[in-house]
Structure 1
Amino acid sequence: MDAKISGESNLQILLQSASPQHNPGKYVFCTVQQPASALLTAAVAIMQENEGTTLVLPQAVADEYQLNYEYIAGWITLMVHSSLAAVGLTAAFAHALAQQNISCNVIAGYYHDHIFVADDDVQQALVILNNLGQAS
């Protein structure tokens, strides 16, 4: 097994190379006890918790299956390949968004960080994230 961790870890480079991109659509967080295979297939993220399985789904799928949700989000992906061991990236963008009263829910994939913000805040969040890279 290779001990080298893949991806960029330098915070300044990460911020300058973040390249945030909006993934079209509206997404919701739902929880179910035993998700049907169709829901698992449709989910863009899955997290097993003690209380149930959290699924991040396209809103249309959640509506089709009559699942409850409270938060309608837009999905932004930072296109830079960030290292899972990188320090400070999440804190930097979460702080910048919080300064403008924008909540964010973050999921780290192997290659990219994925940020879910309230759907109404997507465009402002993209401006803030792009400005982070210019300011660093």
Structure 2
Amino acid sequence: MGTDDFGITHLKLFCVYPNASDANDMIVGVNDNNPPGAWEDVQVCPEGKWLKTWMQAVTPSLGSDDDDALNNIVFYCSSDASGRSDVVGQRLLGTGDGRYAQSSTVTCPFSTLPCGVRAKVHAYQASGDDTAVNHVQFACCFIDL
């Protein structure tokens, strides 16, 4: 049997309060296996800007070939300090994996920002085709900045 590739196995969000003090970090992903790999460099929005929009790239099912599911997620920062503008700000790099088309962008509604995340995770099988994280969803919450 050949190798079994994973896509994204974990997603860690570093959260801060509007006054720039640290809040709780959020990590979602595979918790029953520690696949090889390394964390990507931390990607942050410019000071005073917030995550606002994202899109993800997922490997389509390859049938009997090796699937790796979620292989890239790209975030965009807000263009204003309040996070209320509909104009998209700076694009963060994501993983840089461009093998598959990105989904359409998802943006938190007016006056809201991402405040929670959950992941659809394929459980580790020990044999067969493991995919790790298959999809992520973000919750948007009102934030008064």
Query: TM-score, length-normalised on structure 2?
Result: 0.22
Higher helix share: 1
Query: TM-score, length-normalised on structure 1?
Result: 0.23
Higher strand share: 2
Instruction: For CA contacts below 8 A with separation 6 or more, give which structure has more relative contact order.
Output: 1
